[in-house]
Amino acid sequence: MTREEINKAILSRELFSGQEEGTYFNQELYNYFCDNYDDPYLLFKLEIYGYYKSKYKWTKEQADWFIEHNLQESVKWSPDGINEYYYDWGRGKNNITDAVLHFPHLDHIIPKEQGGENIPENMRIRCHRLNTSKSNINTDEERWAVAADQFNDMSAETQIQFLEYLQSIKKSV
């Protein structure tokens, strides 16, 4: 499926309301789903409460804080301000795609290897592909090396488009 088709499928998704293993984590979250069926951020909240709260040993208050401060970012991302990739927070029967540019992931702002903690304030939403490809790159020198390597792998046409994009966002010095 194309990016546009995936976006459309995510936006028009009918939520699965049955109890299917791997869809709602546990009975408590299934009850939460039933009580909040019309919440447009429901699948994002279920993922935070069901997976990340457990993974990072967050309290409910920490999970609530992360949700409150990341609602807008939980919907979609755009690498260039033009193309949009809607996140698919669905699990099990609610999952639309496994396309890595649509699969959300929580990223440490300060990597754990550099002293970053598993606290909500040190986390942000990124697509899985970006999070895993950047690994622990945290300096401009490392970013430059990776960007140059990736740029060299692009087709000539894409390189031109990318340079035009960079020119359009160039920071004033």
User: Which amino acid, one-letter code, is at 141?
Assistant: E
- The tens digit of pLDDT for each residue in 47-84 reads 999 999 999 999 999 999 999 999 999 999 998 878 89
Name the residue with tokens 């039933």.
34
Average pLDDT of the chain, as a whole number: 90
Instruction: From residue 132, give the alpha-carbon distance in Å to each of 101, 103, 105, 113, 144.
Output: 11, 12, 9, 14, 17
Domain boundaries along the sequence of the chain? 3-138
Q: Would you say 7 and 88 are in contact if contact means Cβ atoms under 8 Å apart?
A: no
- The tens digit of pLDDT for each residue in 141-163 reads 777 777 787 788 889 998 888 88
Q: What is the pLDDT of residue 173?
A: 47
Full DSSP string of 24-93: SSSHHHHHHHHHTTT-TTHHHHHHIIIIIHHHTT--HHHHHHHHHHHTGGGTEE-SSSS--EE-----GG
Q: In this model, does residue 8 exceed pLDDT 90?
A: yes
171: confidence class by pLDDT, cuts 50, 70, 90: low
Rg, C-alpha atoms of the chain: 18
Q: In this model, does residue 138 exceed pLDDT 90?
A: no
Q: What is the pLDDT of residue 172?
A: 52
**More confident of the two residues 133 and 4:** 4
Q: In this model, does residue 35 exceed pLDDT 70?
A: yes
Nearest to 54 by CA among 29, 32, 19: 29
Q: In this model, does residue 95 exceed pLDDT 60?
A: yes
**Residue 55, φ and ψ in degrees, nearest 5:** -60, -45
pTM of this prediction? 0.83
113: confidence class by pLDDT, cuts 50, 70, 90: confident
Structure tokens at 116: 């970053």
